[in-house]
Amino acid sequence: MRKIAVCLVLVVMGAAGFPAAADDYESGLDGDQVFPVKSTAVRMASERVEVFVEWAAEGSAHAVMRVAAEFVLVNDSTELQAILVSFPGTYRDEEFTRTVDGQKVAVREYLVKDPNGLVTHYAAYTSEIRFEPRQTRRVRVTYIAAADASSGWPYPECWSYILRTGALWKGTIGEAQVVVHFPAAMPPGGFGPFRSEAMLLCPPGYEVNGRTVTWTFKDFEPDEDIHIEWSRDLALAASDPVRLAPRDEAPGLQLEMAMFLIEHGAPSGVVALKELREAFPQSAEAKLVDYYIGCAYTHFYPSGGRLEGVAWKPYAAAQHYEAALRQPLDDARRRDALAQLFVLYTQELGEKAKADRTLARLRKENLSLPEHGELLEMVGLASPEGGLALLEAMKVGPDDVLKAEDIRSRLERERQSRQAPPAQAKVQGGS
């Protein structure tokens, strides 16, 4: 008796809103629709997926992926099997081909059902393959597709290859390799030759050889997938703008790279800032280095919280803010540096004379309500007296009089609360 089996090949590069690439798996056929089922006769002896990445050209939305995947399928049964191999397409113009044992085969199109029986919004390119009893056959597909933009345009971009669908084959997969070849240069936004540090690569356990990344699995039933992501920020952070970028662009790129590293808690961000100043001491960016190092070591927020940066160093932060204020900072950074210094001297370092001197400088700034309410709140949280003194020096428009009075009352209550002696606990005696 001849048995009918269906195998769905999911090996597509995901595009926005569409499924990612995936392993073959056996499926059922329902009219013009296919759906996944557990294979009982055919197993995957091995697979090899090879991907060649081309970064997006200027004006293009996504990177291009050229994919070739080969699957060695074995009929373990003693009966003839008719296999329907399907590829879920995302675009009707994909350059998709399929061969079986080196011979090109015809392709038809079916609708695809998900495991719950719902028809998806994409089609499957299918070909029938016949297996003699105990026969081994090689199925190879090639196609071109675009990477998926995970958020924003055009970066970050990502590519996923779903291995877990391979668990639907009979038994375990003997061996699988996913090999990704990246271009010689960094992704757009980076500089110099490709480095794997510019990519987010999952799962761990891959090998890097130059610009080729390889995952190898043996005798396994897959329970996790391959995921690769890259972005301008990652590429820049893995680059060396000081040495590789054009001289007129390098200071700005180095500052951007340093801030990305600092925002992600990497101490190397401070090192990058110092390298910027050493390499381009006369640049406008070099004049911002002390301010940003101060931010890296400690930064306060109007809500009363604080950002614990690459290291909590309040004394060093104060030194760098002082140095920054000797540079021609713009109004926003200068005022923030003064407010940060006041909080540091008041709360962290206990240096009242320096705090008073800093507050006096801040009072000379052209501050007003409500434009600079956040600075007032930050100062008031550190010292109600300081907040009241700063409020007196601020310009208050006719529309903000009531708001100013509310802030003044709140600061006064907080000042009195802090000055009140601690309540004496009542002692109950016993008889």
Q: pLDDT by residue (tens digit) across 377-390?
A: 999 999 999 999 99
- Which tokens hold the place of 314? 């309040």
- Residue 367's CB is within 10 A of a number of other CB atoms, namely 19
| Residue 353, SS3 per DSSP | helix
Task: Name the burial class of residue 71, with classes exposed (0-12), middle (13-18) and buried (19+) by CB atoms within 10 angstroms of its CB.
Answer: buried
**pLDDT over 60 at 96, yes or no:** yes
DSSP 158-188: EEEEE-GGGGGSSS-EEEEEEEEEPPSBPPB
Residues paired with 47 in a beta bridge: 71, 176
**pLDDT over 70 at 33, yes or no:** no
Instruction: Provide the pLDDT for residue 213.
Output: 98
Task: Give the residue carrying structure tokens 């191999």.
Answer: 85
**Angle subtended at Cα 105 by Cα 108 and Cα 142, rounded to the nearest 5 degrees:** 85
Q: Which range among 8-17, 21-30, 229-238 has the greatest average pLDDT?
A: 229-238
Q: State how far the alpha carbon of 113 is from the alpha carbons of 21, 34, 37, 106, 235, in Å.
A: 16, 6, 11, 22, 38
Q: Which tens digit of pLDDT belongs to each residue from 168-227? A: 778 899 999 999 999 999 998 899 999 999 999 999 999 999 999 999 999 988 888 889
pLDDT band at 156 (very low <50, low <70, confident <90, very high): confident
Query: In terms of Cα–Cα distance, which of 317, 275, 278 is closest to 296?
Result: 317
Q: Which tens digit of pLDDT belongs to each residue from 331-341? A: 999 999 999 99
pLDDT band at 158 (very low <50, low <70, confident <90, very high): confident
| Residue 91, SS3 per DSSP | coil
Report which residue type is found at 52. Answer: F
Q: Is the pTM value of this prediction over 0.85?
A: no
Residues paired with 389 in a beta bridge: none
Instruction: Provide the pLDDT for residue 6.
Output: 33
Instruction: Provide the pLDDT for residue 378.
Output: 95
Instruction: Provide the pLDDT for residue 115.
Output: 60
| Residue 349 DSSP label | S
Task: Give the residue carrying structure tokens 């987010």.
Answer: 200
Instruction: Provide the pLDDT for residue 35.
Output: 56
Strands 148-149 and 212-220: unpaired
Q: Which tens digit of pLDDT belongs to each residue from 260-270? A: 888 888 889 99
Please indicate whether residue 341 or residue 142 has the higher confidence score (pLDDT): 341
DSSP 182-248: PPSBPPBTB-SB--GGGEEEESS--EEETTEEEEEEEEE---S-EEEEE-HHHHHHTS-HHHHS-TT
Q: What value does the mean pLDDT take over residues 312-329?
A: 95
8 Å CB contact between 121 and 111: no
Q: What value does the mean pLDDT take over residues 102-106?
A: 94
The mean pLDDT of the chain is: 84
Please name each of the domains of the chain with its CATH number: 3-234 (2.60.40.3680), 237-419 (1.25.40)
Task: Give the residue carrying structure tokens 């970066």.
Answer: 155
Q: Which tens digit of pLDDT belongs to each residue from 241-255? A: 999 999 999 999 999
Instruction: Provide the pLDDT for residue 30.
Output: 58
**pLDDT over 80 at 312, yes or no:** yes
The least confident of 42-51, 271-280, 306-315 is 306-315
DSSP 316-342: HHHHHHHHHTTS---HHHHHHHHHHHH
Q: What value does the mean pLDDT take over residues 36-49?
A: 83
Instruction: Provide the pLDDT for residue 107.
Output: 84
- Which tokens hold the place of 264? 């992600």
| Residue 32 DSSP label | T
Instruction: Provide the pLDDT for residue 348.
Output: 94
**pLDDT over 50 at 46, yes or no:** yes
